[in-house]
Structure 1
């Protein structure tokens, strides 16, 4: 992600085929390492363009690992510490908490160092690091969002040198943030195009041209420079597959709500509904006595159904949910009690 470059506005056809109207206004600029354009029916005011650029600059100054002065770059040079992020980090890191848990660590915003070793570094060298450098990194061990970071609201506490890369969700999140600014300013028909991350608002359908990897010079889409070796997904090592369950279905039920400890002086109620060992419903009742712990328990209660419902109870072992590590430990204890009850 590089510095934001001032934008320009012109009257033109929309960037996306069938955009807001045959001839509208386009505001184009470069930000977070790529090209952006916003198509609207009416020209954007100078103050609104300035507001959009300022919002993008602040996002860039926080999350860009390509800027030496950004917050995540400071984290990358600090051997652990406590760092304050803006309010928008709650939604972004909350999403990564859920993705990390749902994919058992396959989606991890601490993938940045591995990307650097592949050559996707601030200098865009596109040259893999020497073997000895990669060997040294393997000796240190791979950083993990679940093990090397604690999050308390907007505060991130790290335990080692970490390279955060939020581009898997960050660019789309910025598209949402800019779209919200447009709506607040009264624009209801627009297309925000963050170099492929799109949001369209308006009643009229649009056509979008997609570039086929096997036909890179499709006439519907302008050609662009590509580097094949960097166009591949990078993910954490896949977890081992769980042991197969017996072919004969087992029906277990658990009706007793369990109250378990989630930390010194804090407890939480857990109730789970099972059908053939599959969790079909879960209910969490927070019992914390201080506001901070209570807020963490409430976030956990809201997030956990999306993580566990539909899964076999024997496969569930939570590590970190909604920035919370203590409540998942208590939840896991409750599941063990529930499994014992259901098998009785």
Structure 2
């Protein structure tokens, strides 16, 4: 297998293929990642999300419908704990576009986000300036898009964006990294023609108890769950469920979507969905 490694959207990517990707194929991947980033990144001054956060308006994007439909399901399942207007809440704790990492008072996200954002398959329109953050499922969506961009590449294919991955072809054996010790795994899963996405409180953490997984209703980082893993046919849904599992309602959403999962509490207890194929090394 040939491996192409590069950095994009603030994370390390690895794309494994049977044969080395050519320059034209790499250019297509670069273009798709840049297109998505220019539309949805709250860290870019020139993105559509940033422009709408200043004056309101419309984001023209083929990803709008799929992502915001999924967010509506996420928000409903978690009683509002997951909300795409959590950008200002993250900024209030220091995880802003300038990476100030200086925490102020927690800020709850607007609960009526579906009244503020209207969307169709190809666009999202804001009636008032909001700061959208699609981090609960956006990276998974982009993994799927890159996979689609490389659909004509023959043989086995693995797209891994900082732990959110999707595999095609032969079975890939993947370790479930322990959230408090990166040299250990709490289990393994065999991935074939499917996606695995993970989320953990030790990633994007910048202070005592401060990390990127917030309860939108309070603006406060979650405390009960340390890490989650979700298995689905596509990476966007796996990514979405990995976020939902930090809250009540996450397992129920996973069951409705047919997604298997594992999650670990901050005191080391492990749960998994009925029939989950992961092999776990720790006791429940």
TM-score category by the smaller chain? 0.5 to 0.7
Three-state SS of the structure 1 residue aligned to 2:34 is helix
- In the other structure, the counterpart of 1:25 is 2
1:179 and 2:147 are equivalent in the alignment: yes
Structure 1: how far apart are the matches of 2:185 and 2:76? Answer: 41
Structure 2: how far apart are the matches of 1:203 and 1:143? Answer: 43
1:92 and 2:60 are equivalent in the alignment: no
Please report how far the alpha carbon of residue 169 of structure 1 lies from its aligned counterpart in structure 2 after TM superposition: 0.3
1:227 and 2:206 are equivalent in the alignment: yes
Q: CA 1:224–1:91 in structure 2 vs 1: closer, same or farther (change >3 Å)?
A: closer
Please report how far the alpha carbon of residue 226 of structure 1 lies from its aligned counterpart in structure 2 after TM superposition: 5.3
Could you say which structure has the greater relative contact order, defined with CA pairs below 8 angstroms and 6 or more residues apart?
2
Equivalent residue in structure 2 for 1:37, among 14, 21, 44:
14
- In the other structure, the counterpart of 1:125 is 100
* Greater fraction of residues in strand: 2
Q: TM-score, normalised by structure 1?
A: 0.54
Q: CA 1:163–1:143 in structure 2 vs 1: closer, same or farther (change >3 Å)?
A: farther
Please report how far the alpha carbon of residue 217 of structure 1 lies from its aligned counterpart in structure 2 after TM superposition: 4.2
Segments of 5+ residues of structure 1 without an aligned counterpart are 1-23, 239-305, 311-344
Alpha-carbon contact 1:76-1:162 (below 8 Å) kept:
yes
Please report how far the alpha carbon of residue 106 of structure 1 lies from its aligned counterpart in structure 2 after TM superposition: 1.9
- In the other structure, the counterpart of 1:268 is none
Structure 1: how far apart are the matches of 2:34 and 2:216? Answer: 30
Alpha-carbon contact 2:11-2:161 (below 8 Å) kept:
yes
Q: Deviations over 1:206-248 (max 9, x none)?
A: 222332133244499xx9995353336212338xxxxxxxxxx
Q: Deviations over 1:87-118 (max 9, x none)?
A: 22221122112222333322111111100111
Q: CA 1:225–1:71 in structure 2 vs 1: closer, same or farther (change >3 Å)?
A: closer
Three-state SS of the structure 1 residue aligned to 2:15 is strand
- In the other structure, the counterpart of 2:226 is none
Structure 2: how far apart are the matches of 1:171 and 1:64? Answer: 11
Please report how far the alpha carbon of residue 178 of structure 1 lies from its aligned counterpart in structure 2 after TM superposition: 0.6
- In the other structure, the counterpart of 1:144 is 112
Structure 2: how far apart are the matches of 1:180 and 1:114? Answer: 33
Three-state SS of the structure 2 residue aligned to 1:168 is coil
- In the other structure, the counterpart of 2:80 is 105
1:168 and 2:136 are equivalent in the alignment: yes
- In the other structure, the counterpart of 2:271 is none
Q: TM-score, normalised by structure 2?
A: 0.64
Three-state SS of the structure 2 residue aligned to 1:113 is helix
Alpha-carbon contact 1:39-1:191 (below 8 Å) kept:
yes
Equivalent residue in structure 1 for 2:178, among 196, 212, 215:
212
Aligned residues: 206
Alpha-carbon contact 1:108-1:144 (below 8 Å) kept:
no
Please report how far the alpha carbon of residue 37 of structure 1 lies from its aligned counterpart in structure 2 after TM superposition: 1.2
Q: CA 1:186–1:225 in structure 2 vs 1: closer, same or farther (change >3 Å)?
A: closer
Alpha-carbon contact 1:62-1:71 (below 8 Å) kept:
yes
CA RMSD of superposed structures (Å) = 3.0
Three-state SS of the structure 2 residue aligned to 1:177 is helix
1:53 and 2:21 are equivalent in the alignment: no
Three-state SS of the structure 2 residue aligned to 1:208 is strand
Three-state SS of the structure 2 residue aligned to 1:209 is strand
- In the other structure, the counterpart of 1:77 is 54
Please report how far the alpha carbon of residue 143 of structure 1 lies from its aligned counterpart in structure 2 after TM superposition: 5.5
Three-state SS of the structure 2 residue aligned to 1:146 is helix
Three-state SS of the structure 2 residue aligned to 1:211 is strand
Per mean C-alpha deviation after superposition, the further-off stretch among 157-166 and 143-152 is 143-152
